[in-house]
């Protein structure tokens, strides 16, 4: 649950143009989240897309990187206080950088994301965990690598992500 008002759109128009007009009218009408059923996948349109991209970034920086190092499944994350703390600290550094960039991501987003992740299959593994299992290069440069550069540029400390970055890069160097 994203905690935003949603509108499920069932197309009433005959053409794709009619459908797109309905979407635009809803979006302009203030709906923050629009689900478009009837596709092979559901699509969401958000009023503040930058915020939503950064929320996903918060999730990836915390959950993906920590799982890559701990080899913990989603279920194991929730049982291990040290892992939960590490995830939260990594995520809060993203929030700090986002604030420096005037992006509306908050500590509440971290809490909401962690609650959402608790609904995932307990046996599930993140993509970076799977990368480590299969000795593939991961997305660490995009996750903490980018965060480290932004933190340096905007004078925001990112010590947890620096350690995560160096540990993951060290493992990858051994492949």
pLDDT of residue 119: 85
Assessment of whether the complete model's pTM goes beyond 0.85: no
* pLDDT score for 77: 86
CA–CA dist 68, 166 (Å, integer):
12
Amino acid 1: pLDDT: 39
Residues 50-75 have pLDDT tens digits of 888 999 999 999 999 999 999 999 99
Q: Where are the alpha helices (DSSP H) in the chain?
A: 16-28, 49-59, 65-70, 74-79, 81-100, 107-117, 127-133, 146-153, 159-173
Angle at CA 130, nearest 5°, toward 69 and 108?
Answer: 65
* Residues with pLDDT less than 50, the chain: 1-9, 31-34
In sequence order, the 6+-apart residues with CB closer than 8 A to the CB of 3 are 112
């Amino acid at each position: 649950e994203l905690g935003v008002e949603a509108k499920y759109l069932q197309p009433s128009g005959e053409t794709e143009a009619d459908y797109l007009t309905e979407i635009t009218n809803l979006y302009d009408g203030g709906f923050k989240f629009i689900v478009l059923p009837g596709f092979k996948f559901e699509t969401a349109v958000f009023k503040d897309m930058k915020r939503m991209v950064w929320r996903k970034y918060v999730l990836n920086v915390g959950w993906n990187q920590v799982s890559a190092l701990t080899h913990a499944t989603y279920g194991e994350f929730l049982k291990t206080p040290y892992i939960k703390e590490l995830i939260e600290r990594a995520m809060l550094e993203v929030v700090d950088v986002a604030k420096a960039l005037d992006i509306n991501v908050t500590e509440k987003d971290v809490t909401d994301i962690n609650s959402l992740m608790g609904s995932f299959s307990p046996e599930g593994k993140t993509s970076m965990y799977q990368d480590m299992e299969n000795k593939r290069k991961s997305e660490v440069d995009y996750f903490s690598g980018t965060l480290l550069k932004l933190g340096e540029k905007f004078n925001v400390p990112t010590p947890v992500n620096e350690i995560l970055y160096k540990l993951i890069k060290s493992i990858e160097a051994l492949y």
